[in-house]
Amino acid sequence: MCGIVGYVGPQDARDVVLEGLRRLEYRGYDSAGIAVVADGALSSAKKAGKLANLEKVLAERPLPAATIGIGHTRWATHGGPTDRNAHPHLSADGSVAVIHNGIIENFAVLRAECEKDGIEFTSETDTEVAAHLLARAYDAAPEGEGRLADAMRTVCRRLEGAFTLVATAAAEPDTLVAARRSSPLVVGIGDGEYFLGSDVAAFIAHTREARELGQDQVVEIDRHRGLTVTDFAGAEVEPTAYTVDWDAAAAEKGGYDWFMLKEIAEQPQAIADTLLGRLGVRGELVLDEVRLSDQELRDIDKIFVVACGTAYHAGLIAKYAIEHWTRIPVEVEVASEFRYRDPVLDRSTLVVVISQSGETMDTLMALRHAKDQNARVLAICNANGSTIPRESDAVLYTHAGPEVAVASTKGFLTQLVACYLVGLFLAQIRGVKYEDEVSAIVADLRRLPEAVAQVLAGMEPVRELARSLADANTILFLGRHVGFPVALEGALKLKELAYIHAEGFAAGELKHGPIAVIDQGTPVIVIVPSPRSRESVHGKVVSNIQEVRARGARTIVIAEEGDEDVVPYADHLIRIPRTPTLLAPVVTTIPLQVLACEIADTRGLDVDQPRNLAKSVTVE
């Protein structure tokens, strides 16, 4: 969603801000803008559409060189993606400029108040109200150091909803001020220069030294005096310092046509990095960062896994593994529903929240609800320093490196691996598995990076198949047991990237309705469990393939090497290496990622930034 960049320092702010916006493009946006302070005045430019449109405007009408600037990529909420609604928004008197991410819920009341005072609004956004209020508060604040921050605190105390606001004032060429409530913002500290970003991608090309801002805090950055952080009441607080462990190269395409292709290719390494340092020499789990005591872990009698989209699918798979290994009941729920149905939670409930970005608002709200109900919260997260891990009781980072493509790939596989680690760790602590059972599964986990690399090496026929599917109107996905969430994930990837109608089904549900949609030539992708899986699930899926084929489906079958039972019924056969049943989603998902990516590319679509989508969804 919206990308925010701020800069103050010796470099040309125009270049730094535009470069930061380019690095945040992956978040998804539909307009962009920039403002700088030079010669005691604010100058700005903004344009609907991609950054290239803004750059064209800037080429025709350049902004003055400056050492302070703010920039924004907007994902429309209040008001369409037009030039007028793009950020920054300037106050009516031109004294301050504001950029914003989030939703100001009481903007209608505040707007009416400003209009009553004679202010004419130039956009339909909720943000503009913050610009006018800030100018008024700035006027009223005592002159001298800290004036803009003082005004920002006054405004924040009046705002309801979620927001990150960054402001600059015409009269303050060395000062940037920002505030955050339930919306992301990080500060980068360079050598005599400072950066603000929605995430660290905005500035990792310049510095890896960062500061986390807490909830309801205001940061004032003065080029000469440095950084001051306060709460909304003005009390000073110490921000948490951290070093970003991603490098700039990790956020580049590195020769691939799409970030998604690069991120698919990085999966063996990403999984290895998730496992790194967490598997002991005796085949035991070492999860020191799970800051819950052994007794607290033994007391858990129920687990909820709460997440959105692809991360939710990781949770669905986790349920099979965690229940099987620990015998603790696990419920999995989409975060946007969780708190509204009043789930039964208490001190012995563990809520596992999964989020690649660590900023998904629905997941964050579910986390806060769980904490309000006294449950313990463990986050599985990729982005260091983000809000979800910061507010959780414990965190297991996936260490997958930056995921830039909107479609989650390495994020998903590493979430799965982290879930396996949590399940096994609980089994180990609670003594429900013999040590040799745990170490046997640990050995299987260690083999995953190689298995994933093997699948990736054999993807050319899948790409060829994808090209032949590019004109399909509907593609169905079937699976049983852990193959069912994989089917859901395959369908989600196809929908979001190729805009093709796709649905995932539990294969056994097919005959209860969905089979009616199968027509001559309908592509049906079937994830077949291992022939060694429990209670003849394999045989049942083979029967399901025959059922759909008998009704004209074109069958695309993903099956283990050596599984000959599927051969007569597969129009296309994709082989994956032998993998233990519960870990199989790590390998069976890969052809589905490649398929969706290649179909979208064949259809001429933007693989990394599909229409209407944002990488991290920071509004409810």
Task: Tell me which residues are annotated as active site.
Answer: 2, 615
- 617 touches ligand M6R (CB under 6 A): yes
Tokens of 82: 């037009």
What amino acid occupies position 559?
A
- 555 touches ligand M6R (CB under 6 A): no
User: Alpha-carbon torsion 343, 344, 347, 350, what sign?
Assistant: negative
Tell me, residue by residue from 286 to 315, as one string, x for binding to ligand M6R by CB under 6 A and - for no binding. Answer: ----------------------xxxx----
Asked whether the beta carbons of 445 and 418 are under 8 A apart, the reply is no
Tell me, residue by residue from 106 to 145, as one string, x for binding to ligand M6R by CB under 6 A and - for no binding. Answer: ----------------------------------------
Name the phi and psi angles at 504, rounded to 5.
-105, 140
Q: Which of 270, 616, 618, 619 binds ligand M6R (CB under 6 A)?
A: 616
Stretch that binds ligand M6R, among 35-43, 151-159, 341-349, 356-364 (CB under 6 A): 356-364
Stretch that binds ligand M6R, among 406-414, 514-522, 547-555, 583-591 (CB under 6 A): 406-414
Q: Which of 406, 417, 465, 507 binds ligand M6R (CB under 6 A)?
A: 406
Q: Give me the least distance between CB of 276 and ligand M6R, in Å please.
A: 21
Alpha carbons 217 and 228: distance in angstroms, whole number: 10
Stretch that binds ligand M6R, among 237-245, 349-357, 372-380, 513-521 (CB under 6 A): 349-357
Using DSSP bridges, classify how beta strands 186-189 and 226-231 pair: parallel, antiparallel or unpaired. unpaired
Residue whose C-alpha is closest to residue 549's, from 526, 568, 569: 569
Q: Give me the least distance between CB of 401 and ligand M6R, in Å please.
A: 14
Stretch that binds ligand M6R, among 168-176, 341-349, 403-411, 509-517 (CB under 6 A): 403-411
Task: Give 353 or 525: the residue with its C-beta nearer to ligand M6R.
Answer: 353
Stretch that binds ligand M6R, among 189-197, 298-306, 357-365, 393-401 (CB under 6 A): 357-365
Q: Which of 360, 588, 609, 618 binds ligand M6R (CB under 6 A)?
A: 360
Name the phi and psi angles at 184, rounded to 5.
-75, 150
Tokens of 590: 């890969």
Task: Give 152 or 488: the residue with its C-beta nearer to ligand M6R.
Answer: 488
Q: Give me the least distance between CB of 247 and ligand M6R, in Å please.
A: 21
Q: Give me the least distance between CB of 615 and ligand M6R, in Å please.
A: 7
Who contacts 394 (Cβ-Cβ below 8 Å, separation ≥6)? 289, 290, 291, 292, 376, 377, 378, 379
Task: Give 270 or 617: the residue with its C-beta nearer to ligand M6R.
Answer: 617
Residue whose C-alpha is closest to residue 2's, from 204, 181, 199, 195: 199
Tokens of 37: 């302070």
Q: Give me the least distance between CB of 201 and ligand M6R, in Å please.
A: 14
| Geometric angle at alpha carbon 38, from 34 and 42, rounded to 5° | 50
Who contacts 89 (Cβ-Cβ below 8 Å, separation ≥6)? 97, 98, 99, 100, 122, 123, 125, 127, 128, 130, 131
Alpha carbons 88 and 96: distance in angstroms, whole number: 10
Q: Which of 357, 428, 522, 581 binds ligand M6R (CB under 6 A)?
A: 357
Task: Give 310 or 555: the residue with its C-beta nearer to ligand M6R.
Answer: 310
Whether the link from the prior residue into 88 is cis, omega within 30° of 0, is yes
Tell me, residue by residue from 442 to 481, as one string, x for binding to ligand M6R by CB under 6 A and - for no binding. Answer: ----------------------------------------
Task: Give 405 or 466: the residue with its C-beta nearer to ligand M6R.
Answer: 405
Stretch that binds ligand M6R, among 247-255, 405-413, 442-450, 459-467 (CB under 6 A): 405-413
Helix 460-469 × helix 585-602 angle, to 10°: 50
Task: Give 404 or 445: the residue with its C-beta nearer to ligand M6R.
Answer: 404
SS3 content of the chain, % helix, strand, coil (to 5): 40, 25, 35
Q: Give me the least distance between CB of 407 and ligand M6R, in Å please.
A: 4
C-beta nearest to ligand M6R: residue? 309
Strand order in the sheet with 474-479: 501-506, 474-479, 523-527, 554-560, 572-576
Could you give the C-alpha distances from 55 to 33, 394, 431, in angstroms and in order? 9, 43, 61
Task: Give 310 or 326: the residue with its C-beta nearer to ligand M6R.
Answer: 310
Q: Give me the least distance between CB of 348 and ligand M6R, in Å please.
A: 26
Which residues in 362-401 contact ligand M6R (CB under 6 A)? Answer: 363
- 267 touches ligand M6R (CB under 6 A): no
Helix 267-275 × helix 410-430 angle, to 10°: 20
Which residues in 495-514 contact ligand M6R (CB under 6 A)? Answer: 496
Residue that has been written with the tokens 């009616």 in this structure: 516
- Contact residues for ligand M6R (CB under 6 A)? 308-311, 355-357, 360, 363, 406-408, 496, 616-617
